[in-house]
Structure 1
Amino acid sequence: MQAQRFLITGTAQEEKTNAAVEFASVALLRPDSTGISAVTTDENGKFTIKAREAGKYLVKLSFVGFTPVVKAVELTAENDSIGLGTIVMKSSDNILKGATVSAVAAKVEQKDDTTMFNASAYRVPEGSTLESLVKQLPGVEVDDDGTIKWNGKTVTEFLINGKDFFKGDTQTAMKNLPTDLVNKIKAYDKKSDYAEQTGIDDGEETTVLDITTKRELNESWITNVDLAYGNKDRYSGRIFATRFTDRTRVTVFGAANNTNDQGFGGPRGFGRGQGGLTATKNAGLDFSWESKKTKKENGHIEVGGNVRYNHSDNDLISSSNSETFLTSGSTSSFSNSRNFSSSARTNVYSAFRLQWNPDTMTTITFRPSYTFSKSRNNGNNSSATFSDDPYTKTTGDPLEEIFRENVIQNNPELYALLVNTNERQSLGESESHSLSGTLNIVRKLNSKGRNVSLRARAGWGKSESESFSISSINFNESTGKPSSFLNQYSNTPGKNWNLSTRLGYVEPLGKNWYGELRYQYSYKYTDSNRSRYNLNELASDAFRQEHADLFAEDPELEGELAGFGSTNSYPIGTLPTRNDLLNYVRDLNNSQYATYKYFEHTATAGVRYNSETIRFNAGVDFNPEKTKMRYNRPGQHIDTLITRDVFMVSPQVRFRYKFSKTTNLDINYRGSASQPSMTDLLAVVDDSNPLNISMGNPGLKPSWNNNLFVRYNGYDPTRQRTIMAGMHATQTINSVSNNMVYDPATGVRYVRPENINGNWNARAMFMFNSALGAKKLFNINNFLAFRYDNSVGYISTKTASATPTPNPVNMILKEAAVSGPENEEGSYNYYNRLFNAASAASEKNTTRTLGFDENLNLTYRATWFDVSLLGRLNYQHARATIQENANMDTWNFAYGASTNVNLPWGMSISTDIRMTSRRGYSDQSMNTNELVWNAQIAQSFLKKKAATISIQFYDILHRQSNVSRTLTATQRTDTWSNAINSYFMVHFIYKLNIFNGSAGNKSGEKEGVRMGPPNMQGPGGMPARPMGPPMGGGMGGGRYF
């Protein structure tokens, strides 16, 4: 016999505006006010809450900024379903004054395809920005470079209340949006404009985080100012102001800092931050507006856009040592390098959006954008290549020792391993402009789903870059190979433009079934040139002899040009005063001039099924495309027009099943082809870097990619329990890998791209988040991930210095070392012979890597304090089929605790401590224990606690390091970089809020209000979340200096 269901339904509505109250808390209570279960209202203000048995109950609706409403109900066997109808909620005069609600907000909720995080369930430090909150969300990862991933998918946009917010730039929201404004964060895959307007999945989804702001802040100006200064001349300043209404939003911000803008994330990771010392300055304006008419009415208009400016300066010091795996048994090539670089970058970006409904059946959307970018980079690099592990011959830094005078006498064993050294200076400058626009027009032909659509796109771009490099290359004296000095200059202008037009038609085929046909034509034009000049030739004897007439005309010319030689008396970036002299030293072999014309036709046929529980769509793209390239490389006597015609078929299938409003399954498959670049298909050689000579391969084949994604989401609102399970697998057929022939005597690498098979990877994820205890004051979150990578690459061919029988590879290498290619015209054939001879010795190395990642977090949260225990374990097991040196079993684990205390007089204290450990690395300097302790104390004061002073201490014990390891099928690299280490900062935070709508004081009185997350607010506001790790610090052991 089926158990009886007892249901209570209703709709929450705001008294003054009759608008639905979204995300209001609905609690089912016993008559003595003890809690049973809780849900939240949906975007229409509706709710359904279940009871397990008949009886008398209280239904309590609450939301910050509104007076709670309590309704008494009685469920019986005869009356098992009660509709409360519309429940009017009155706005409260006591806005944001720390009212306490008995129900505890769930950390994670699931509704259809959307995962929702309640901001009130997470605690962050006073004055924190969105980054502090996002880093705590279950299933969300923030990489060291700022990349945000949700369940393994990269987040590309932030929205606010469903509207674009600095579109395409996630860092602006992460670094500047105050957490005080956030009510919920929704994570989902956002459809394109076309898909939203037609209901047809065009495969152009973007993963977004959608910020829902606190409703009580509507029609109010919210302003935050945060100024800070610390030891070591660290500074930070930020101002953020915004105003929201139901139809408009405007946001302005400005910020400057020299702290790597790290944010505070809590002790969740392994403590490696952004490398280098970075100072940034940025500012922006974002707005949105829509007319009073609804989207379904004639004349509805939406307008939005943003303008932002960013400037950053970075100073980076890094050291690395790498091992390249070779085919000769278990031997390898080793290299060490040290790099000092500084860079400056300026970006200006603007984007706008206009949507207009001229009538109820037509939607027109237009999106223009403009980008400007300018950068300058300076670098100094020293490197050395060794035939064996140099650390076996010295207890110090091999790189530092090899560049000392008298190294041959002081450490002959280390010098015996030396292959070559390279000291290089570099300078680069670039500037680019781009302009683009997209127009979408959708016309519904009836109410049953028939529609026709048009999309048009156009874009234009222009760029200019200059680069200089000065290199001094020396070889081991035993090779007899002379030193090489290069002073090079390159100029690379470029321009491009593109346009495309797409027509689509959707036809209802029956109940819930729809068919779709689309056709798209695309055209792209690119002009890409590179002129390279060998400035050192201006100082050569050969140049003086060949152009004696120039020196006769200008007696001072010889003295001027001598500075471009090995004496290097000019600073990098210097060009001769006479521009015509560059024409004499143009590197014709490595200068190239190319124009590309790309024509593509795409025909798409698809079918879609939509019902209350099932969403299914399948389609296939047919892509005939033609590419024409006019290519000129004067020194290699190539001036040709190349045409490539290909036909590609790309299928896609997606199935989504909704078990309930809170439980669903999503399966998505896509197949796609990718073509090798046209320049990789050319029979040309690039020897501008004498230590790395590359060539094209006309025999390259297209690659095929298979992608499968499966995800299950379930949420139990009664237990506040969320379960997510997912799997993502990718496979590439005919992927491109660089095959390399290595000369052990000189360290010269000869590289050619080759197709290779066997590359695939899979990732499985499981997340469990649940409240615990009768009052749900405890919470447990577990995120578990497995990954398997099957990485295939060509192992470098290392040839022995002597063999019993003649070896064709050795013979060619020996010939090249003595006399080089016989002539320039035959250089490609010459190197092609080398690769063909080496192909028999080349081997495929497969590295199979199994990874395991476990994150566990247990939190107890009371009214005035909270405490969390955190743990993370990462294990990596790697095995190589050929190179045993690539085998490794490494463990990275971290564990720690954090606590926050709010005291009645407006003081909050936060601290966290974390131990991070590494094990299993062959380099013992990486097997470290790092105990990192951070703390913050904050005091609020002035009327309504409008001002706060806080002191933040980073890495109090000076134990943070900044080291990393990467492993591929062909190479292992360990890297150390400088970073901002332990320091402290004093912050002054002031909040000026002007309430002039229904949420606050109608008179527009200025109020300094200390905002906190809604619900569960203790005395004096929410306790602060502890600070996360600083961005690095420490030096990480002797191998990284």
Structure 2
Amino acid sequence: MKGLLKFIGTLGLLYGVSSGMAARAQETGAREDTAQVRTIPLWGHVKDGFTYAALHGTFVTLMREDSTVVDTMHVQCFNSGTPQEDTYYKFDVPARRARYIIKAEHPDYYPEYVDCTVRYVARNPYVDARHHEMRRRPYASFADRSLGEVVVKATKIRVAYRGDTVVYNADAFNLSEGAMLNELVRQLPGAELKPNGEIYVNGRKVDYLTLNGTDFFKGDNRKMLDNLPAFTVQQVKVYDKTTDRSEFLGYDTEKKAYVMDVSLKREYNTGYMANVAAGGGTDSHYAGRAFGLRYSDRSRVTLFGGMNNTNVYNDRPGENGEWPEESLTNGEFVTRQTGGEFFWQNKAKGIENSLTANAEWSDRDVNRKSATEAYLPQGNRYTRSSSLQDVDYMGVNANNWLTWKTKDHLLTVHSYVGYDRTDTHGYARDAAFDADPSAVGGIDEVLDSAFLLPSSGSARMRWLNRSSTRSLFEEWKYNVGHDMMWDAKLPWGDNLQLRFTGSLSRTENDRFEHYLLDYASSGSGADRRNRYDRGRRRNYYYQPSAEYTFNFPNDWHFLTYYNVSSK
């Protein structure tokens, strides 16, 4: 009996253990099934290993680490038809630790394998795989391929729409020989070019004018509009461009820029370009300018210079034949300027640097003269006045933009420095008379005589009052600034940004003035004053800041930040 009870107890114990193990196994399976319910996207990009261009038609296979196939797809395209064109793939994978092998296949390229390990999911909304940089097969491997039927059509379409991108075909427009880019832009349907270089397309202002997808004298459109020959242009595209930071983080954090991008024809993607213009006219008027450009797919060196004394800052009329506002300046305006740009980016476009520098000199001379007559009951009053003003200006500035981008880091640095100096010389004088002084001569002769004669004067010219002012104003200022921003993607899915912005400026000016006021009826003599004013001003600004963004899988972002400002 005792043996039977012991046997039954043993069976009960074994049944309890097995039931507990089965329950734990079911619980573990349920947890695994629950984990499989949540997935995150695994993104990847496919590019030509030499040109880093997008590769359409690539077939991608996602495999586990034991080479069993999980999923397959053909790549899709983002920003099609723009310099930012990108071919990518996206697989939904379980949100847990795992290792994958991703194979990319293209008929003209060797297969490219990429290992991708999902180490830490947490709040990461997606996983990025290393880019597939595919190597092209030797030409002989596909030299025997024949083309299909080719249809040639004579009609050229001027405007096409690719999604939200407007594409203009430059060859479809009739332009005069030697035309520059500005003449092409004026003919684009829906486009309007302002005298100062601002461009509007369908009533919306273009933020940046770019060349082959890169900035060209950022903010100064006229450099490209006036100097780039239209025959080198293949297409002009207008679209909304995502900022570098938004593209890096994977969601929009800044407003998109409205961009007009100029794409050069293939034969002009590398080489040299020069443009020289000169002319002369009556009264010793002249105008001249020169522009030189050396460019390639990843670098660009530009030099330019110009001068004229034709009272214009921009030496050509606007869209409707009107001259820019600077050409309406009184007096004589002489300007000279020179500058350049250096642009470089590495093969992977992860490092990019742009340096621009400008120097300008100008001389503005204004001479005003007037002769008036006032009709009064007690007798007419005659006035003669003259003023001379000479403004000499010199300005130098330089800007440098550096961008360094990796998979998990983005560093942007903008530094600038500027110096300006202005010297203004002035001389003004006027006199009032009780008789018409025209018999003495012109305005200058009358004023010279008035300041030489005593108050009694002569029978034909007797002045009532006279005044003169000689002035000298000197001002110089400099400013330097720096803006550095570093963004990082953290392993658990959040973002961190550290930023420092600072600037320093100083202005100094000196004003000298000699003033004379004299009344003929005054017995106390002339009022003579020597004035001197001195101004000194120094400003500085700094603001370090830190920003932390919590990213949640449902595309919610919670932003926290802290900054310290000098103001």
TM-score bracket, normalised by the shorter chain, equals 0.5 to 0.7
SS of 2:283 mapped into structure 1? helix
Letter in 1 for 2:200: W
Q: Which residue of 2 aligns with 1:302?
A: 352
SS of 1:263 mapped into structure 2? coil
Q: 1:365 aligns with which of 390, 412, 415?
A: 412
For the pair 1:142 / 2:187, whether they are aligned, the reply is: no
Q: Which residue of 2 aligns with 1:6?
A: none
* 1:340 Cα deviation from its structure 2 partner: 4.6
Alpha-carbon spacing, 1:18–1:192, altered in 2? closer, same or farther (3 Å): closer
Alpha-carbon spacing, 1:131–1:502, altered in 2? closer, same or farther (3 Å): farther
Cα distance per residue 1:765-802 (max 9 Å; x no partner): xxxxxxxxxxxxxxxxxxxxxxxxxxxxxxxxxxxxxx
For the pair 1:224 / 2:270, whether they are aligned, the reply is: no
The 5 A counterparts of 1:1021-1040 are: none
Q: 2:396 aligns with which of 348, 355, 367?
A: 348
SS of 2:564 mapped into structure 1? strand
Distance in 1, Cα, partners of 2:321 & 2:553: 52
8 Å CA contact 2:82–2:237 kept in 1: the answer is: no
* 1:456 Cα deviation from its structure 2 partner: 0.9
By relative contact order (CA 8 Å, sep 6+), the higher-ranking structure is: 1
SS of 1:232 mapped into structure 2? helix
Q: 1:160 aligns with which of 211, 224, 228?
A: 211
Distance in 2, Cα, partners of 1:421 & 1:209: 59
Alpha-carbon spacing, 1:403–1:256, altered in 2? closer, same or farther (3 Å): closer
Q: 1:488 aligns with which of 508, 531, 536?
A: 531
Alpha-carbon spacing, 1:197–1:428, altered in 2? closer, same or farther (3 Å): farther
Cα distance per residue 1:162-212 (max 9 Å; x no partner): 323233444544554444544455566777654554444457x77765443
* 1:218 Cα deviation from its structure 2 partner: 1.0
Distance in 2, Cα, partners of 1:430 & 1:193: 39
SS of 1:167 mapped into structure 2? coil
Q: Which residue of 1 aligns with 2:345?
A: 290
The 5 A counterparts of 1:753-832 are: none
Distance in 2, Cα, partners of 1:484 & 1:130: 60
* 1:238 Cα deviation from its structure 2 partner: 2.5
Segments of structure 1 that go 5 or more residues without pairing to the other structure are: 1-12, 23-39, 48-87, 89-98, 295-299, 321-335, 385-398, 407-419, 524-597, 599-1041
8 Å CA contact 1:131–1:265 kept in 2: the answer is: no
Letter in 1 for 2:192: V
Q: Which residue of 2 aligns with 1:103?
A: 156
Letter in 2 for 1:256: M
The 5 A counterparts of 1:39-438 are: 41-43=81-83, 102-106=155-159, 112=164, 119-120=170-171, 126-127=177-178, 129-133=180-184, 138=190, 140=192, 142=194, 146=196, 148=198, 150=200, 158-185=209-236, 194-195=245-246, 197-198=248-249, 199-202=251-254, 210-259=261-310, 260=312, 261-269=314-322, 273-275=327-329, 276-294=331-349, 300-316=350-366, 340-357=388-405, 359-380=406-427, 424-438=469-483
Letter in 2 for 1:429: E
8 Å CA contact 1:317–1:341 kept in 2: the answer is: yes
Distance in 1, Cα, partners of 2:184 & 2:385: 38
* 1:361 Cα deviation from its structure 2 partner: 0.7
Cα distance per residue 1:604-636 (max 9 Å; x no partner): xxxxxxxxxxxxxxxxxxxxxxxxxxxxxxxxx
Distance in 1, Cα, partners of 2:398 & 2:172: 35
8 Å CA contact 1:161–1:212 kept in 2: the answer is: yes
Letter in 1 for 2:268: L
Q: TM-score, normalised by structure 2?
A: 0.55
Q: 2:546 aligns with which of 499, 503, 519?
A: 503
Letter in 2 for 1:439: M
Letter in 2 for 1:293: A
8 Å CA contact 1:131–1:263 kept in 2: the answer is: no
Distance in 2, Cα, partners of 1:185 & 1:492: 50
Distance in 2, Cα, partners of 1:426 & 1:130: 45
For the pair 1:463 / 2:518, whether they are aligned, the reply is: no
* 1:489 Cα deviation from its structure 2 partner: 2.4
Distance in 2, Cα, partners of 1:484 & 1:193: 65
Distance in 1, Cα, partners of 2:420 & 2:320: 35
Structure number with greater Rg is 2
The 5 A counterparts of 1:842-921 are: none
Distance in 2, Cα, partners of 1:215 & 1:374: 44
Alpha-carbon spacing, 1:142–1:513, altered in 2? closer, same or farther (3 Å): same
SS of 2:267 mapped into structure 1? helix
Letter in 2 for 1:305: L
- CA-based RMSD of the aligned residues comes to 5.0
Alpha-carbon spacing, 1:475–1:130, altered in 2? closer, same or farther (3 Å): farther
Segments of structure 2 that go 5 or more residues without pairing to the other structure are: 1-46, 57-79, 88-138, 140-151, 371-383, 432-442, 451-464
* 1:268 Cα deviation from its structure 2 partner: 5.0
Cα distance per residue 1:966-1008 (max 9 Å; x no partner): xxxxxxxxxxxxxxxxxxxxxxxxxxxxxxxxxxxxxxxxxxx
Distance in 1, Cα, partners of 2:85 & 2:243: 26
Q: TM-score, normalised by structure 1?
A: 0.32
Alpha-carbon spacing, 1:404–1:277, altered in 2? closer, same or farther (3 Å): closer
Cα distance per residue 1:254-299 (max 9 Å; x no partner): 22223324224353548864425432222222121111225xxxxx
Distance in 2, Cα, partners of 1:348 & 1:288: 19
